[in-house]
């Protein structure tokens, strides 16, 4: 297969790629911008770039061709098929807001949240029924997790600690 080499890029294009490489929050886009920069600035071929960015040579070739056809907009992931997520950003925010509050403060007859209780409560509020594993996944994505309650037995008796240990 013949080596793919990009035509000389303008200073504006190089600047745009450099900016994309340094500021993109998506690491995949940053690597793709680096591939283009290595090809344009250092005149490296796809096999040499592949060794540097630890990608397959065909992957590098594909991104070089896509950049030549679409420019920097072509470096982002294409939209994927499938159904959109059921949980909207508002649902996710409400879930995280609820789990931070005590159920009794909301007038509910229990003291601790479980994923099933959260799913039921949010289904009543929003009309959207999510499965228990989906609620757990959304909590993890929000940096939270439900854990088992730690039951402790206490007594108002001042000698309780002595009696318990004895």
- Judged against a pLDDT cut of 60, whether residue 96 lies above it is answered with yes
- pTM for the model stands at 0.53
Q: Among the residues of 24-154, which ranges form H helices?
A: 27-41, 46-53, 57-70, 89-99, 115-126, 132-141
Return the closest-CA partner of residue 62 out of 80, 38, 36, 26.
36
- Band (pLDDT 50/70/90 cuts) for residue 85 is confident
Percentage with pLDDT > 70 across the chain: 97
- Band (pLDDT 50/70/90 cuts) for residue 83 is confident
d(CA 116, CA 128): 13
- Judged against a pLDDT cut of 90, whether residue 5 lies above it is answered with no
Percentage with pLDDT > 90 across the chain: 67
Torsion of CA 39, 44, 47, 53, to 10 degrees: -60
pLDDT at 3: 66
| Helices 132-141, 115-126: crossing angle, 10 deg rounding | 90
Q: 8-62 pLDDT, tens per residue? A: 888 999 999 999 999 999 999 999 999 999 999 888 999 999 999 999 999 999 9
- Judged against a pLDDT cut of 80, whether residue 161 lies above it is answered with no
Average pLDDT along the chain: 89
The Cβ of residue 71 has, within 10 Å, a number of other Cβ atoms equal to: 13
- Judged against a pLDDT cut of 90, whether residue 163 lies above it is answered with no
- Judged against a pLDDT cut of 60, whether residue 1 lies above it is answered with no
- What are 156's two structure tokens? 């108002």
pLDDT at 37: 93
pLDDT at 2: 61
């Amino acid at each position: 297969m013949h080596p793919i080499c990009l035509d000389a890029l303008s200073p504006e294009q190089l600047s745009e790629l450099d900016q994309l490489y340094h500021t993109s929050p998506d690491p995949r886009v940053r690597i793709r911008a680096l591939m283009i920069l290595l090809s344009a600035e250092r005149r490296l071929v796809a096999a040499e770039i592949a060794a540097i960015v630890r990608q397959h040579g065909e992957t590098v070739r594909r991104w070089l061709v896509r950049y030549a056809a679409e420019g920097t907009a072509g470096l982002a992931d294409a939209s994927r098929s499938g159904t959109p997520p059921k949980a909207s950003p508002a649902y996710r925010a409400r879930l995280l807001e609820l789990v931070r509050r005590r159920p009794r403060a909301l007038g509910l007859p229990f003291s601790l949240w479980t994923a099933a209780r959260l799913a039921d409560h949010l289904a009543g509020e929003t009309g959207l029924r999510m499965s228990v594993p989906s609620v757990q996944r959304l909590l993890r994505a929000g940096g939270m997790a439900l854990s088992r309650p730690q039951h402790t037995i206490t007594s108002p008796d001042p000698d309780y600690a002595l009696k318990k240990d004895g």
